[in-house]
Structures are given as C-alpha cells and as structure tokens.
Amino acid sequence: MVCVAVNGKPVLGVIHKPFSEYTAWAMVDGGSNVKARTSYNERTPRIVVSRSHSGMVKQVALQTFGNQTTIIPAGGAGYKVLALLDVPDKSQEKADLYIHVTYIKKWDICAGNAILKALGGHMTTLSGEEISYTGSDGIEGGLLASIRMNHQALVRKLPDLEKTGHK
C-alpha cells in the first residue's frame, strides 16, 4: 500500500494485491481505476472486521445491526477497504462496512482512506472524527469506513465504546 497525505489529509492511495496481480488506485479530484458498487445494505450489512485484532467488534456489530448481520473476519486493512468496492478480482470478498474497534496504525489505513475519499466514501473514527495523518502514528478510537451510505447516521447508531467498555 502507498498513500500520499497533504497537510494530514489523504489524497492519493494505492493498494496492490500481489497474488492476484490487482492494483487499485485513486486520487482525490484526480481519478481512479476502481469504483463503488451499485448497492450497499445499511439495515443488515455485511461487515468486514480484523481477523487478528477483533476486540469486541463482532458483539458491537450484532448489537447495533441485529443478528442477520454477517461478520467477515479478514486480514489486511487494504483488503478490508477493497471489500467495500467494485473490484474485478473475483476472490475479493464483498462487505458493506468496515469496522475496527482497537488501536490501529495510521500507515495501515491511509491508502484505503484516500481511495474511499476519492470515491466519495468515508473513513472516520468510531465517533465520526476525520483521521489526521499528522502527529501520532496510530488512532485509539477505532474506525468506521463506508461508501454510498449515510456515514454520520451509522456513527450515531454505534454505541459509545468508551462508555460501554467494549474496546
């Protein structure tokens, strides 16, 4: 993955999948070779989550969106962002949301954030704050990534993990 951030804002992202030889790239106001899918399910979404750093995300997702919600454990932040998009790689799983509830390094999410921003999507902390790629090297508050959905409504729907102790 490669990301260029200007003044803390991600503007160019590249995610390469070497085994399938697929590369996705997008630049804010500069084009892309990838696009959003035509539809997403906000009611009972398929949610991609970290396989190795799941925290309480499965319980939070089921509590928030109901028992019909599908949880997809996966490795790699880039892979999880690609799961939200329309990519030609047939082995790529499809998800409606990407939720992460534990600490995550900014270098691991910048490229995906840039691609989502370029396509009109969002990646924020779980409390809806934009992620700045300056200062500290990670974020404590987890993240929510979506595209073609009401992102702020999704943020409001999630429980306050700081207060509930679900981190």
Query: What pLDDT is recorded for position 6?
Result: 98
Strand-pairing partners, residue 138, are: 105
Q: How far apart are CA 142 and CA 166, in angstroms?
A: 11
Q: Which amino acid is at 54?
A: S
**Mapped to the 3 state alphabet, what secondary structure does 122-157 carry?**
EEECCCCCECCCCCCCEECCCEEEECCCCHHHHHHH
**% of the chain surpassing 90 pLDDT:** 77
Question: In which band, very low, low, confident or very high, does the pLDDT at 159 lie, cut at 50, 70 and 90?
Answer: confident
**% of the chain surpassing 70 pLDDT:** 95
Query: What pLDDT is recorded for position 161?
Result: 60
Q: Which amino acid is at 86?
A: D
Q: Is 57 helix (H, G, I), strand (E, B) or coil?
A: helix
In this predicted structure, the answer to whether residue 165 has a pLDDT above a threshold of 70 is: no
In this predicted structure, the answer to whether residue 139 has a pLDDT above a threshold of 80 is: yes
Q: How far apart are CA 64 and CA 16, in angstroms?
A: 32
Average pLDDT over residues 80-101: 95
The pLDDT tens digits for 62-87 are 889 999 999 999 999 999 999 999 99
Please enumerate in sequence order all residues whose Cβ is within 8 A of that of 91, keeping only pairs 6 or more positions apart, or say none.
20
Query: What pLDDT is recorded for position 57?
Result: 85
Please enumerate in sequence order all residues whose Cβ is within 8 A of that of 18, keeping only pairs 6 or more positions apart, or say none.
none
In this predicted structure, the answer to whether residue 126 has a pLDDT above a threshold of 90 is: yes
**16 CB-contact burial (10 Å; exposed 0-12 / middle 13-18 / buried 19+):** middle
The pLDDT tens digits for 17-35 are 998 889 999 999 999 999 9
